[in-house]
Chains A and B, each alone.
Chain A
Amino acid sequence: MSDDPVIEFTGFIKACRLFRENRLPEAEVVCTNLLRKNPLDQATWALKLQCLSDSTYVDELENEDMGLAETFLDQNVIAPSARPGTSFQRPKTTAKGINPILRPSTNAGRPLSGVVRPQSAFKSGSMDQAVRTARTAKTARAVSSTSARNMRLGTASMAAGADGEFVNLARIKLPKYAADPQVNRQLFEYVFYFVNDIKVAHEIAGIASKAAEFEDYYWKNQLAKCYLRLGMLQDATKQLQSSLQQRKLIETFALLAKTYNRVDQPMAALRTYAEGLDAFSEDVTMLTGMARVQEALGEYELSINFYKRVLDAQSNNIEAIACVATTYYYGGKPEIALRYYRRILQMGVSSPELFMNIGLCCLAAQQFDFALSSIIRAQATMTEDVAADVWYNIGQVMVDVGDLPSAARAYRLALTHDPDHSESLVNLGILRHREGRTDEARSLFGSAISKNPLMFEGNYNLALVCAAQGKYHECRRLIERALEAFPDHDHCKRMLNSLKPLYEAI
């Protein structure tokens, strides 16, 4: 009492203020000092836990990072080959569905979307093929989601707790703290987000849920998050459903739908989102979720409708604008797409990708002056990770204006930035073939295929070259692979039919 109680008092208040202002490192330092004086101060302890976990907080809803291990060694999916249109593995293959000519696909074989988002559980080809697909720093798919995140967050925790870990999880009396409603949430979040020890986090959530007599929806959701991370999807579903019975929350609906997506049941996910919409009408999270699922199923019309509903509710939703714009662009309406991109620009986003997109839209809409200035701006602001794509697009523009040598140069520049850029390889190959340098073209196509075996263009173009050279056997093999990527490609089918008599003749 005789010491300075006033300063100690302000100390905690100060920490609280700093925390409220989101000045987490400073708040943490104040807490550390307070704890040094009185290590048993639970309020400060909890606040410090909160500071630490907030600094490494990840949105679990968007955290859809599937590693190779989860994708290929997963056993939770009931129907590996369900009816087309009811599974992410088999989107609709009608004219309005996946069409690699009208809408190019990503490195992992997905149709291109307006925004980059973590890949969902799309599995194409075998595991062997996926391992062989080039995985560079930019296109890397983590081996498994747990290990990937462990690695990233592990470094974070090292940096923060240079003088050893804040809470020694092996020594702490878990049952005591986990059952204490004053500190258990903070402790859980610390363990879940900061330490990333899911097993311990699961234990905490289990004890806390029991202490709350299984009536706290918060703990049910946390348990579900743990199960999701651990890959125990059925248990996660169970917890979320029971949580929904207690209280309907947007987060719970979204997590439940995410769980269904993970087990490849898009219909169930859509149903969950619809239930969520009943409870929270025109909710952006639900609508976005539905739009994403429909897009992944190849139902672009429906997807766009949902994105438009998102925009009605939240007119500055960039994901929705970008997706609508992309669909318009690939739907042959570049002028409308341009308006959407300009809207993004108005909202203050200025990235090289955006300028490039505007440039391409302008080009397609015959506004060459605008196109060139946009492209130049994209080039000026581009960073290393998008450089290859920017140069590739410049190459496309050069092809469009008929300057083939410049186009070839642009593709080569793209390849210097990213040697695995398979689209550039293919296009360069086509240019070489036009020049009559067939062998060079063949090797370019070949390396494009080896970088990305799922690519339609690489396989198809090489097949054409083979057919011209009379290598029918190889041609047939390539066409079959191309048809895997694009089952309805007419010319491929015709070529296959014309090859057939040759086989029968033997």
Chain B
Amino acid sequence: MDGDQTPEEQVEIGESDETSKFDDNVELTSVFSFSLDQRIMEGCVISAVLEPDGQETIVAVSVTNKVIIKDTETSLNITETIRCIAAAPFGEGYDCIVIGTDSSVICYDVHNNLTVFRNDVPDGVNCFAYGKLGDLEEAIYCGGNCCIWGFDKSGANTYWTVTGDQVTTMCLSDYDGDGETELVIGSPDFEIRVFKNDLMRAELMETDEITSLAHVTSGCFAYSLNNGTIGTYVLKERQWRIKSKSNVSKIFNFEEQGLMVVVWKQGKVDLRFAHNGEVLSRDSVATPVASATLSRDKENPTVTVVCLDGKVKGFKVQKATNGAIDKTQQLIREFGQKKHNLMVRNYRKSCNRGASSGMELSNYEQEEQLTEAEKDRDFRIPADTDVAVVFIVSCETQLLSLRVEASHAIPIRGVLIFAEGLFEGESYIWIPPNEHQSRSVIDIPLVIDKDSTNDLHTKVFLGHVDSSVIYTTSIKKILPRFCRFTLLNKEFEKFFYMPTCFVKFKLSPRAIKLSEWVSESFTIDSSLVEIFDENEGDFKFMGLRPKHEKSLMFSIDPAEKTFTIFHDDIETVGAMVQSYSSFFQIQNMESVAHFPDVFKEAEEILEEMDPMTEVRDRLTAELQERQAAVREVLIRAEDAIAIDTIPNARKFYIRLKANDAAARQAAQLRWNNQERCVKSLRRLNKIIENCSRLRVGEPGRQIVVTCRAAIAEDNKQIVTKVLQYGVSSQ
């Protein structure tokens, strides 16, 4: 992606730019519209078959926390706060509604008016996905905070695993095209994670919060981000992405036609090609969209869009009646795109002086016609001017900077760095405060708090202060994953703080050239890298801002063939272990972890969990008692009014007020307790996840499974042991 923007959207298409082989003579047409007369909660709309041989019906959640079913007087009353809703074919030939609240999953059979199951999920459910995952039976998968649950049709818990962050969206899709479905989840920490059964298969870094995911075809899924990006991944690689200013509400696919429908929150509805994202037809609804569903029961699939204010509009895909007009627009757009691309190329060529020798462009031709004097007057820069972009570490301040240096002391008039997710608002612009302070060397500090590889697209503007022409060069630089650490110099020994925590694992025979991994992942002077190949000794790293107080040490013991990473931050160590193993393609790796603080915290949480649930039970009982009192007084007061004894009624209402206050207080107490409980639970899940990432493959999975079983069986002593030594040592 470059800095230029087309007014509406910004497109990036991968290599597989195949020509359209689909019948593009289709369009979206509006087929019906009506209103539910209720304000609808965002994201909570589904369509489901609620009775045997029934039609698909719209089911939505109103902002008043009721479940509304279209065309019936029924509105379901759920006592807990609803967060999400789904349909699962658990009935005999019809769907049950699955409701996710802030503390449980309720599966309700509307046809028979019975709760099929109701399971506690302590920290709430954010999203659902129904289907068959890997070799497991069909089940409903619930994404919560840092963990995913799966329940089968009887409500039995068939699946549980932990993940790095809250799960905001999920879909079941065959990610790697091997014929088995994987669970794809999206989180607010910009990552898309792929689980094969309960083993994490891949992590895909995106540039913003993931807002929705959808299965497209085998080996392909679509995603959308909070910043308005939509795109698809095909067989592990991003195929295309498009950026827009509005936010996506929902994506559907029409597998047979190779089309997908994107519904935007602002009300736009697009029909796009699934293979390159190009728009085929557009329509819109007038008001902001709550959500949309796809009904499949008839031959023609219908997309039903439900707006926040309860307006419902249905669209279906059909042969275009006025296809010609659409085609023209399409052509215009294509030409526009071509023109844009050409211009960009031209522009790049003209600017990139380093690579432009022998180019036939006009200004070079002009240049040759100019006299020396003219050139001087023009403050031309020498033809061999070179711009170097390097990472510089200032040990004194423990800061990593990007140094931009122009040869021949040509002043730099500005630097523009584009890097996704690195700076606030995507890009960083440096302009000297006033023209005369332009220098030829510029240090741009990089303070990064994520461990991820990143591309820095740097544009440097050169030119003399009085020159009317600015020369631009563009350089791409890859930021290593662990650029926050650098090899320690002897003289800065004072900045080394010996870490107390470590993870130790057997050196894999595959990992012969450790230097390759180190030079790819760390900011390191290439001359120093070779010491890593000796496979012996301690290698000390200094932490850079913002982690300047945490140091890192590798210790390789050739006798025992062990590799130990000393560092205090468990997440970073986990990332290093994963990066190490994927670099050397290690499938399974066991390790011993030593993180006293983390284990102590886990132990504390496990300790206080029991008393906390007890207190919660007691507080709940108390709350119920108070609420019963409120109800009783209310009836008595009504009764008093009914028999016209106003003084009594007055007395009861005063009592009602007191009781109500007491009930509120009890509710507040219970809420506080619940909040704490959920918080520590979330933290515990996170710890388990971090510890499982210190291992690779099966041993990591085993840790999650064993911890879960240990907690369920109240066998808490074992948990920290497992976290520390892994499962096989038991």
- Give A residues with C-beta under 8 Å from B: 67-70, 72-73, 75-83, 86-87, 127-128, 131-132, 143-144, 146-147, 198-199, 202-203, 206, 210, 213-214, 226, 230-232, 234-235, 237-238, 260, 263-268, 271
Contact = CB atoms under 8 A, between A and B. Distances in A.
B113 A143 contact: no
A206 B614 contact: yes
A80 B79 CA distance: 13
Contact of A78 (B115, B621, B622, B627): B115
Contacts of A226: 621
A457 B621 CA distance: 44
A237 B118 contact: yes
B566 to A, nearest CB: 41
A115 to B, nearest CB: 26
A131 B622 contact: no
A78 B631 contact: no
Contacts of A87: 113
B94 interface: no
B120 interface: yes
A73 B634 contact: yes
Given A75-B77, A78-B77, A267 B114 contact: yes
Interface in B574-629: 610, 614, 617-618, 620-622, 624-625, 627-628
Contacts of B635: 67-69, 72-73, 127, 131, 143-144
B383 interface: no
Contacts of B104: 234
Contact of A199 (B114, B625, B638, B639): B625
Interface in B46-96: 73-79
B625 A78 contact: no
Interface in B110-137: 110-115, 118, 120
Contacts of B110: 79, 82-83
Nearest to A269: B114
A83 to B, nearest CB: 6
A136 to B, nearest CB: 13
B77 A235 contact: no
Contacts of B628: 69, 144, 146, 230-231
Contact of A69 (B618, B624, B631, B714): B631
9 contacts: A69-B628, A69-B635, A77-B77, A79-B113, A127-B635, A131-B635, A144-B632, A214-B714, A231-B624
B201 interface: no
Contacts of A146: 625, 628, 632
B125 to A, nearest CB: 16
Interface string B461-476: 0000000000000000
B642 interface: yes
Contacts of A73: 631, 634-635
Given A131-B639, A206-B617, A210-B610, 17 more contacts: A67-B635, A70-B631, A72-B635, A75-B77, A78-B76, A79-B76, A79-B113, A82-B74, A144-B628, A144-B631, A144-B632, A199-B625, A203-B618, A230-B621, A232-B624, A268-B114, A268-B115
A197 to B, nearest CB: 10
A144 B638 CA distance: 13
Nearest to B614: A206
Contacts of A203: 618, 621
A407 to B, nearest CB: 33
Nearest to B119: A238
6 pairs of A and B residues whose beta carbons are closest in the complex: A82-B113, A86-B113, A69-B631, A268-B114, A144-B632, A267-B112
A210 B614 contact: yes
A202 B627 CA distance: 17
Contacts of A128: 638, 642
A349 B178 CA distance: 76
B636 interface: yes
B108 interface: yes
Contacts of A76: 79
A375 B636 CA distance: 41
A237 B631 CA distance: 23
A248 to B, nearest CB: 17
B108 A78 contact: yes
Nearest to B109: A267
Nearest to A77: B77
Contacts of A235: 620
B612 to A, nearest CB: 13
A143 B614 contact: no
A83 B617 CA distance: 34
B87 to A, nearest CB: 16
B625 A230 contact: yes
B102 to A, nearest CB: 14
Contact of B77 (A80, A206, A232, A267): A80
Contacts of A264: 113
A72 B75 CA distance: 17
A132 B74 CA distance: 27
Given A81-B74, A127-B638, A232-B621, A143 B112 contact: no
Nearest to B640: A131
Contacts of B79: 75-76
A127 B631 CA distance: 12
A237 B76 CA distance: 19
Contacts of B638: 127-128, 131
B121 to A, nearest CB: 13
Interface in B407-444: none
Contacts of A80: 74-75, 77
A79 B77 contact: yes
A404 to B, nearest CB: 36
Contacts of B617: 202, 206
A266 B112 CA distance: 9
Contacts of A238: 118, 120
Nearest to A214: B714
Interface string B94-109: 0000000000101010
Contacts of B78: 78
Contact of A132 (B625, B634, B642): B642
Q: Which of B77, B614, B620, B635 has its CB near the most chain A CB atoms (within 10 A)?
A: B635
A265 B113 contact: yes
Q: Which of A78, A87, A147, A235 has its CB near the most chain B CB atoms (within 10 A)?
A: A78
Contacts of A147: 632
A213 B106 CA distance: 27
Interface string B250-289: 0000000000000000000000000000000000000000
B116 to A, nearest CB: 9
B118 A199 contact: no
Contacts of A69: 628, 631-632, 634-635
Nearest to A226: B621
A76 B115 CA distance: 12
B73 A83 contact: no
Nearest to B104: A234
Contacts of A266: 113
B178 to A, nearest CB: 37
Contact of B118 (A131, A144, A210, A234): A234
Nearest to B97: A78
Nearest to B617: A206
A271 B113 CA distance: 12
Contacts of B618: 202-203, 206
A86 B632 contact: no
B632 A271 contact: no
A25 to B, nearest CB: 32
Contacts of B714: 213-214
Contacts of B631: 69-70, 73, 144
B170 to A, nearest CB: 25
Contacts of B108: 78
A77 B115 CA distance: 10
Contact of A83 (B76, B113, B636): B113
A58 B621 CA distance: 22
B103 to A, nearest CB: 10
B507 to A, nearest CB: 45
Given A87-B113, A238-B120, A267-B112, A199 B622 contact: yes
